[in-house]
Amino acid sequence: MPQSAEKVLDHAGLFKEPEYQEIFERKKGFEGGCGAAKVQEIADWTKTMEYREINFKREALVINPAKACQPLGAVLCASGFEGTLPYVHGSQGCVAYFRSHFNRHFKEPCSAVSDSMTEDAAVFGGLNNMVDGLANAHALYKPKMIAVSTTCMAEVIGDDLDGFIKIAKQKGSIPEDFRVPFAHTPSFVGSHVTGYDNMLKGFLTSFWDGKTRSETAAPAININGGFDGYCVANNRELKRMMKEMGVEATIISDPSEVFDTPTDGEFRMYAGGTTAEQMEAALNAKGTVFMQGISAAKSAEYVEKAGQKAVSLNCPVGVTGTDAFLMAVSELTGQPIPAALELERGRLVDAIADSQAHLHGKRFALFGDPDMLLGLTAFLLELGAEPVHILCTNATKEWTEKINALLAASPFGKEAKAWPGKDLWHLRSLLATEPVDFLIGSSHGKYLERDIGTPLIRIGFPIFDRHHHHRFPIWGYQGGLNVLVKILDKIFDTLDAKTSDSASFDLVR
């Protein structure tokens, strides 16, 4: 008997015991499988160039994409405003999925409601759901704002959010002056980052439309982080750096508190977030910095139309990225970059110098969201590492141009190829036929690590199978240091494992 009360074996150990191995063998007799030899033959074949060619001919079938759908992004964006309840108009299952997706990444509660449209709404439209839904949500959860986005069901039947919200107000579901920013977020267009952008624009429109801008004399700017799995730590790091610079920065959409509340006996459904007053004042700021510009294109365009300067960065990670960010802020505000930040910069450069020999020439594959890939690739290039496969399922034309330009500008980018619109099953073929030393991406990359053996460095979204990574920034010089250490730890762990039976198992590396 494998189990005992003294030493309880769970799934990780229990099923390796002979009793269970025998069961698995007996079960095979009923499974009608192809046999181990055939499975091995096909498994080997899937790692060949021949298979890669078949795999890359796919036009309709998508296997393990690295992207999610629009309303997920809308929910993250909405979560970053004070007292705001994300509300998704359409089928209820979607909201259950969005909430659990963020639960698993942040290990935190995620509050959002659906208006639970079903067959009758499919026929008659979801107006009644909106009228009742806003009233119920307002009564139960007492939000300051409700931010409405849509599932694909509501989009396919063509529900009109603007009209529906107005009617709901007329019917008394919520007070006339209650603010309801909204965005149509069809899941069959773009990805989660598109939905984030749409919702962000919905907030900007709600607060700024029809208002007259008068630029402040104060060194005040807005910063938006975009769809960022590291928002908790990144936003705090941004605020800290801005304080060092004497810049009054409003983070537009700041979920850093709501996704990092304490365990002290009280559940806070709402915590922190950009306030309505901040949003009103934000119009008069000197400009808005979009940390992930490709994923905030519509919002940036809106900000410029409102008469503000928009600075679009691409998830700046590392020395030059952070330099560019701080210089942009300095240019917007006229505030100099203080010695304290320059000191941090020097420390990051120091760390890179200490470790560069272990990084130089190491070959990397990366997958993730467009802006993050630009930021991480730029960092790898400044480390002297060589990005080889850069795969972006939710790429835009702008991304492809930018990543190619970035690679062309560095001798370390010569080996690299960008793969827009491809999925992780494509990446599997790439890793099998053109091997690299390390893979950077979300937890979904763990299947690639298992299949191909390429060690995975977890940077991206979602991170489901490691805890608390999102509590450490990847932006700023401090963030650069975190990313550097993450990469180095994997390099050294891999080297130790590789040399454990040889003289090269060094104490000092």
Partner 1 sequence: MSAVLDDKTRNKALINEVLEVYPEKAAKKRAKHLNVYEEGKPDCGVKSNIKSLPGVMTIRGCAYAGSKGVVWGPIKDMVHVSHGPVGCGQYSWSTRRNYYNGTTGVDAFGAMQITSDFQEKDIVFGGDKKLDKVVDEITQVFPLAKGISVQSECPIGLIGDDIEAVSKKKSKEVNLPMVPVRCEGFRGVSQSLGHHIANDAIRDWVFDKADYEKPFESTPYDVVLMADYNIGGDAWSSRILLEEMGLRVIGQGTGDATLKEIEMMPRAKLLLLHCYRSMNYIARHVEEKYGVPWFEYNLFGPTKIAESLRGIAAFFDDTIKEKAEQVIAKYTALSQAVIDKYKPRLAGKKVMLYVGGLRPRHVVGAYEDLGMEVCGTGYEFGHGDDYQRTTHYVKDGTLIYDDVTSFELEKFAEKIRPDLMASGVKEKYIFQKMGIPFRQMHSWDYSGPYHGYDGFAIFARDMDMAINSPVWGMTKAPWKK
Q: Which of residues 175-204 bind partner 1 (CB under 8 A)?
A: 186-189, 191
Q: Under the criterion CB under 8 A, does residue 103 sit at the interface with partner 1?
A: yes
- CA geometry: angle 336, 342, 347, nearest 5 deg: 165
Q: 72 or 332, CB closer to partner 1?
A: 72
Q: Under the criterion CB under 8 A, does residue 349 sit at the interface with partner 1?
A: no
For the record, the structure tokens of 389 come out as: 């496969």
Phi, psi of 207, rounded to the nearest 5 degrees = -90, -30
Residue whose tokens read 């805890």: 467
Q: Tell me whether strands 417-420 and 309-312 are parallel, antiparallel or unpaired.
A: unpaired
CA distances from 232 to 235, 278, 374, 469, 471 (A): 6, 19, 21, 10, 6
88, 95, 148, 152: the catalytic one is: 152
Where in 30-59 is the site for partner 1 (CB under 8 A)?
30-34, 38-39, 42-43, 46, 51, 54-55, 57-59
How many residues bind partner 1 (CB under 8 A)? The answer is 111
CB of 173 to partner 1, least distance (A): 9
Given a contact cutoff of 8 angstroms between Cβ atoms, the answer to whether 222 and 304 are in contact is: no
Q: Given the rule CB under 8 A, which of 92-100, 298-306, 341-349, 367-375 is the region that contacts partner 1?
A: 92-100
Q: 153 or 249, CB closer to partner 1?
A: 153
Q: How many angstroms separate the CA atoms of 106 and 271, rounded? A: 15
Q: Given the rule CB under 8 A, which of 64-72, 227-235, 356-364, 501-509 is the region that contacts partner 1?
A: 64-72
Q: 30 or 210, CB closer to partner 1?
A: 30
Q: Under the criterion CB under 8 A, does residue 111 sit at the interface with partner 1?
A: yes
Q: Given the rule CB under 8 A, which of 97-105, 326-334, 398-406, 477-485 is the region that contacts partner 1?
A: 97-105
Q: How many angstroms separate the CA atoms of 98 and 390, rounded? A: 27
Q: 24 or 505, CB closer to partner 1?
A: 24
Show the DSSP H helices in 434-503 as ranges: 446-452, 476-499
Work out which of 49, 63, 327, 497 binds partner 1, going by CB under 8 A.
Answer: 63
CB of 262 to partner 1, least distance (A): 8
Q: 75 or 249, CB closer to partner 1?
A: 75
Tell me, what DSSP letter sits at residue 25? H
* HSE, side-chain direction, 13 A CA sphere, residue 6: 2
For the record, the structure tokens of 251 come out as: 């983070």
Given a contact cutoff of 8 angstroms between Cβ atoms, the answer to whether 402 and 372 are in contact is: no
Q: 19 or 304, CB closer to partner 1?
A: 19
62, 156, 189, 349: the catalytic one is: 156
Q: 178 or 492, CB closer to partner 1?
A: 178
Q: Which helix (H) or strand (E) holds 72?
A: helix 70-79
Question: Which residues have CB under 8 Å from 33's CB, separation 6+?
Answer: 39
Given a contact cutoff of 8 angstroms between Cβ atoms, the answer to whether 475 and 240 are in contact is: no
Where in 259-288 is the site for partner 1 (CB under 8 A)?
261-268
Q: Which helix (H) or strand (E) holds 432?
A: helix 424-433
Where in 205-244 is the site for partner 1 (CB under 8 A)?
none
Radius of gyration of the chain (CA): 25
Q: How many angstroms separate the CA atoms of 106 and 100, rounded? A: 10
Q: Given the rule CB under 8 A, which of 26-34, 242-250, 431-439, 490-498 is the region that contacts partner 1?
A: 26-34
Where in 67-86 is the site for partner 1 (CB under 8 A)?
67-72
Residues 431-470: x/- map of binding to partner 1 (CB under 8 A)? -------------x--x---x------------x------
Q: How many angstroms separate the CA atoms of 25 and 272, rounded? A: 55
CB of 168 to partner 1, least distance (A): 10
Q: 191 or 274, CB closer to partner 1?
A: 191
Q: Given the rule CB under 8 A, which of 110-118, 217-225, 303-311, 468-476 is the region that contacts partner 1?
A: 110-118
Q: 111 or 478, CB closer to partner 1?
A: 111
Where in 119-158 is the site for partner 1 (CB under 8 A)?
119, 121-122, 129-130, 132-141, 151-153, 156-157
Catalytic-residue membership of 315? no
Given a contact cutoff of 8 angstroms between Cβ atoms, the answer to whether 215 and 245 are in contact is: no
Q: Under the criterion CB under 8 A, does residue 408 sit at the interface with partner 1?
A: no
For the record, the structure tokens of 350 come out as: 């120091």
CB of 106 to partner 1, least distance (A): 8
Q: Which helix (H) or strand (E) holds 138?
A: helix 127-141
CB of 51 to partner 1, least distance (A): 8
Question: Which residues have CB under 8 Å from 65's CB, separation 6+?
Answer: 393, 423, 424
The order of strands in the sheet holding 417-420 is 417-420, 386-392, 363-367, 438-441, 456-458
Work out which of 75, 77, 94, 348 binds partner 1, going by CB under 8 A.
Answer: 94
Catalytic-residue membership of 156? yes
Catalytic residues: 152, 156
